[in-house]
Amino acid sequence: MIETQLMSSSVFTFLLITAAEMGDKSQIVCMTLAAKHKAKPVFWGSVLAFLLLNAIAVALGASLSTMLPMNLLTAVAAVMFTIFGLQALLSKNHDEDASLPTKLSRSIFITAFSIIFIAEMGDKTQLAVASLSTTENPLMVWISASVALIVTTAIGVFAGSRWLAKLNINTVHKLSGCLFLLFALFATIRLFNYG
């Protein structure tokens, strides 16, 4: 009985989180970063961010949203998206990517981690994980949600590195810049809704 309950809550968590993240901003961020940079640091930076976010959500349960001011998190996300969007729009096509693989990989890992961590803190997915952990087995919720987010991240990174990467790099910069600025706009609108 307990094993069946654990299995059903795990499957439910996995399906819920996967559905919530497909086409979400974090998956699109992974796509655009993987189109411009090496896929591995984008993937691992994003995965680490999601693992930590899920651990925070499970540890704090439903009280997460009351402990961290949502308007502060939203404002930080809007600023980060604006910065990354403007950087992408204003960047020039240089062939530096191939000449500095180690430094670039480290900075891309940190960039991917930072964007995902800030953007997803307090997001619907994290709140869903927090809510689920108050009624279901917290360890199973963490594992199932983490696997779901790893799968959606892998899909995003694969799509970005395979399909978006075939586009002209300047086009990718412009597309990703516009997407980041669009996310910044949505975050700003969301911020005014909290006010």
pLDDT digits (tens, 9 = 90+) for 14-50: 888 887 777 777 888 888 888 888 889 999 999 999 9
User: Which pTM was predicted?
Assistant: 0.67
Q: For residue 40, what are the CA distances in angstroms to 37, 85, 104, 152?
A: 9, 22, 11, 15
pLDDT digits (tens, 9 = 90+) for 121-159: 777 777 778 777 776 788 888 999 999 999 999 998 998
Q: Which residues contact 151 (CB under 8 A, 6 or more apart)?
A: 18
E-strand ranges in 37-195 read none
The number of residues making up the chain comes to: 195
